[in-house]
Homo-oligomer: A and B are copies of this chain.
Amino acid sequence: MFISDNSSTVHKKVLKKITEVNQGVAFPYGNDPYTKHATEMMQSLFNKDTDVYFTINGTSANVIGLSALMQSYESVICAESTHINTDECGALEKYIGAKISSVEHNHGKINVQSIEKFLLDKGNEHHNQPKIISISQCTEFGSVYTPEEIKEIADFTHRHDMYLHMDGARIANAAVSLGISFNEMIADTGVDLLSFGGTKNGMMMGEAIISFRPEVTSNPKFIRKQGMQLVSKMRYISAQFIAYLEDDLWRDNATQANSTAQYLAKRLTEIPEIEIKNAVNANMIFARFPQEIIDKTINKEYYYLMYPLENVVRMVTSYNSTKEDVDQFIDELQK
């Protein structure tokens, strides 16, 4: 139920749009009017020139996008807990050939002090050259960077001839959590490259690579194709984005997920043996469960036992999570 937002269905408006575009001939590989429209909708979210490329999943959005901004002898600096570092089976190392240098973090968030040591490597051919700082928004621990925090990292990044990448697999949940627009959170703070996620928030499959530095990104369209990520019947990806951006469906979905997470957090506090480990900013809750509860509920698909040695479980709410789901879950736990 709260295993992952990946376990959810597709929002009915998204599926409806897919059905609507299912007529007539459309040029393949993105040369169709739906893709043009979805691209323009995406661009209109930001007051900046952007290049937008659709892809299928978060791993490819991260890797294909970064491939356009860096060389193999450079490095990506990120929190040890970042998805590109721990959950993509080394896709970045394989495809780009670069090193990921991880730093300590606070519930998934990093700061520029922890990065300064890498500046000593600049110009020294024995070390990968620091080029990208990558942050996740929301982080993998459910925390959310404030615009000020992002701007501080972006300024540091640019001061040292580097670029800032944001892995936005749950970008809508972050925007809703902060109560600000995508533009304020991303373009205004100085993010150079964004992986804009849709799949986890009610789409079927679809992420967007958005470059805020079209003048320096090196030909993402060739990289996407060579990277095996170009979809032929692209209209079915673009249709999802149209539905997702129309009438701010993304906001409604993320609001539902976030507020259900708040409700879930509140109700979990009713069980004294359970300790919530994070500030619940968005749609993820990490909590320490007693062994007895885990033994009885581990096979019921309610949550993911993330750190078995420490009895810490992860719960993720989704666009279609409801208070009733929470109540049912809490009832089960209280048994």
Contact = CB atoms under 8 A, between A and B. Distances in A.
Interface string A134-155: 0000000000000000000000
A97 B94 contact: yes
Chain A: number of interface residues, binned into ranges = 35 or more
A3 B18 contact: no
B97 A57 contact: no
A204 B236 contact: yes
A58 B230 CA distance: 10
A319 B73 CA distance: 33
B10 A26 contact: no
A159 B181 CA distance: 46
Given A6-B29, A6-B233, A125-B225, A90 B94 contact: no
A335 interface: no
B7 A27 contact: yes
A227 B91 contact: yes
A231 interface: yes
B22 A10 contact: yes
Contact of A3 (B27, B219, B223): B27
Contacts of A205: 231-233, 236
Q: How many monomers of this chain does the complex have?
A: 4
Q: Determine the main DSSP class of A at the interface with B.
A: loop
A9 B24 contact: yes
Contacts of A128: 89-90, 226
Nearest to A23: B9
A221 B125 contact: yes
Given A88-B126, A90-B97, A126-B87, A228 B227 contact: yes
A108 to B, nearest CB: 17
A28 interface: yes
Contact of A93 (B97, B225, B231): B97
Contacts of A97: 90, 93-95, 97, 226
A219 to B, nearest CB: 7
Interface of A: 1, 3-4, 6-10, 12, 15, 18-19, 22-29, 56-60, 63-64, 71-73, 75, 86-91, 93-95, 97-100, 120, 125-129, 199-200, 204-205, 218-219, 221-233, 236, 301, 308
- 10 closest Cβ contacts across the A-B interface? A6-B28, A94-B97, A73-B222, A60-B228, A90-B99, A89-B226, A6-B232, A89-B225, A125-B225, A93-B93
16 contacts: A1-B25, A6-B233, A8-B25, A18-B204, A60-B228, A72-B90, A73-B90, A73-B226, A89-B222, A90-B226, A91-B228, A94-B227, A120-B308, A128-B226, A204-B236, A228-B229
